[in-house]
Structure 1
């Protein structure tokens, strides 16, 4: 459990101090992220820092049951049933997947989903860490078959029944997933997070109820399973930062500043020393690579390129920087 600094008279906020994760994440550990849009935020941070990451490959999904179902597709290398497909306004979609998969041709849709599942089946087999971010406990069930959908795809609301998942239902769903994951990849560690994004379409009161169900579930699962832990992104925003300054203009999503702070906390407690050392070396190089010179052939810029290339060569054995090395070499005159 994280420790909280009690405020002194000169303090104006409470700060969460996270305990270190047993078996911290290394720079060469592959990471799979899935769930709400907050999974994209953490996934992008890891990707930007040269980790091998599958970032929310099935698209944004918010409720636990749908997230678990997508993962089971990947583990089993399975395919969605015909009943999960639909069509509206000449666009074909699948109720178990995000609208980014939707196409004007059903065969293209099926192929895209199939290719994604197959690719993630291979990735998950050797992944070291899975980060699952739950967004809401509110679900939509299709009236015709009572199946929970991941995405409504703008189908009229009359086709669905909205309800709140119980903790029991989520736990049962997770246990089915966990059993298959453990058999498929025994070394996989699971980190649960609760998205700090507020779902006000459910009203603030019912959003709080939803988050409470999810938070209690995360706690229960981390107590039940040795390979499951909880990263308190939700508490960092709500109880540590606790200010609208750290929200985006919509007042619902964390700002970039908040995401950077969460990443800092994640680095401190969840990444090992070698990973943090690499990131410290990589960040200035990454910024240098984004530099757009006015005079690319100047002596000064060519010297800068050679220095950057030497730094990249030193990191080659730690992470895959081949693309960046090629990028620099293409700019060198001789």
Structure 2
């Protein structure tokens, strides 16, 4: 007997393996998946400019690095004793303006190279709700705790999101024609916007994204959709799979969604390597009651042999 609804998944034509170079962009759920890629030692870069939730702000970053537009003083502002940029997450805010600009421009240069060399880009959209700076009329990625009266809140239309996603694809392909896309909608509910408003927001993302994906399919490039939101809502429809805020997936849910992802988007050979790496990671975290014992020294010797074998096979992997 089956007591839950399983979301059907088809294996991708262009799976990730240990020779792949992956870039993960988007919401906090993108970070959850990227942490799994990091744990299993795939070559992965995550949100170089920090977490970004809405499609237009992701597009703006891609457009900036594609055009190689440097960040200048007009792109930053001073608030609460730190310099910020509305297009960038507050993780990069800095008390020194020049240092902030240098950091952002270095990241932009690096991201161009990463996108040019990547085999896969995973993009996770979180919300259709955006904040627009009333002074500049620009959509911001982060408000940086600037008073809310300086912004207007809007719901992006399906047409605007669709155009933004298409632009993101076109700009990325202009840098790297052979890159593979994996899109997903974050399972995190943004109930601060309201429950009905959150559903409306997600529905705009779903409609726009699937309209775009309908137009993109070839034997060389696959534009994939991974149903992380649907898995959370249908396969894991129980609050025991949520964190304390009852909004974010907890570690069990993340592990399960990762399992569903890896079964369909990672090669079978790589799944075997993942198992070896997981054993090494667990062994590295092991703490012996008697570190000087002969048994523990043998354990460490075998562990180093396993590590050496993996690192020789995949030079980019370091433990």
Do the structures match in fold with TM over 0.5? Answer: yes
For 1:294 and 1:73, the matched residues in 2 are separated by 53
Determine whether 1:177 maps to 2:168. Answer: yes
Greater shift after overlay, 67-76 or 303-312?
Answer: 67-76
Structure 2 counterpart of 1:25:
16
Greater shift after overlay, 295-304 or 315-324?
Answer: 315-324
- Deviation of the 1:49 alpha carbon: 0.3
Change (3 A) 1:320 1:48: farther
Asked if the contact 1:102/1:109 (under 8 Å) is kept, the reply is yes
Structure 2 counterpart of 1:281:
276
Structure 1 counterpart of 2:302:
307
Match among 286, 299, 310 for residue 291 of structure 1 = 286
Change (3 A) 1:93 1:234: same
Match among 302, 314, 319 for residue 319 of structure 1 = 314
Match among 143, 151, 160 for residue 151 of structure 2 = 160
Structure 1 counterpart of 2:125:
134
Structure 2 counterpart of 1:263:
258
Change (3 A) 1:44 1:229: same
The C-alpha deviation readout for 1:153-185, integer Å capped at 9, x for no partner, is: 111111111100011111222222222211210
Match among 36, 39, 45 for residue 27 of structure 2 = 36
Structure 2 counterpart of 1:242:
237
Structure 2 counterpart of 1:7:
none
- Deviation of the 1:321 alpha carbon: 6.9
| Structure 1 SS opposite 2:244 | coil
Greater shift after overlay, 175-184 or 253-262?
Answer: 175-184
Structure 2 counterpart of 1:191:
182
Change (3 A) 1:81 1:176: farther
- Deviation of the 1:12 alpha carbon: 2.0
Structure 1 residues without counterparts, runs of 5 or longer = 1-9, 325-334
Structure 2 counterpart of 1:147:
138
| Structure 1 SS opposite 2:25 | strand
Change (3 A) 1:224 1:322: closer
| Structure 1 SS opposite 2:286 | coil
| Structure 2 SS opposite 1:16 | coil
TM-align CA RMSD: 1.4
- Deviation of the 1:81 alpha carbon: 5.1
Change (3 A) 1:308 1:235: same
Question: What TM-score, normalized to structure 1?
Answer: 0.91
Asked if the contact 2:166/2:212 (under 8 Å) is kept, the reply is no
| Structure 1 SS opposite 2:154 | strand
Asked if the contact 1:27/1:318 (under 8 Å) is kept, the reply is no
| Structure 1 SS opposite 2:302 | helix
Asked if the contact 1:50/1:319 (under 8 Å) is kept, the reply is no
For 1:88 and 1:56, the matched residues in 2 are separated by 23
For 1:252 and 1:151, the matched residues in 2 are separated by 20
For 1:25 and 1:313, the matched residues in 2 are separated by 23
| Structure 2 SS opposite 1:316 | helix
Higher relative contact order (CA 8 A, sep 6+): 2
Greater shift after overlay, 306-315 or 121-130?
Answer: 306-315
- Deviation of the 1:323 alpha carbon: 3.7
| Structure 1 SS opposite 2:121 | strand
Greater shift after overlay, 288-297 or 263-272?
Answer: 288-297
Determine whether 1:233 maps to 2:224. Answer: no
Determine whether 1:92 maps to 2:87. Answer: no
Structure 2 residues without counterparts, runs of 5 or longer = none
Greater shift after overlay, 166-175 or 33-42?
Answer: 166-175
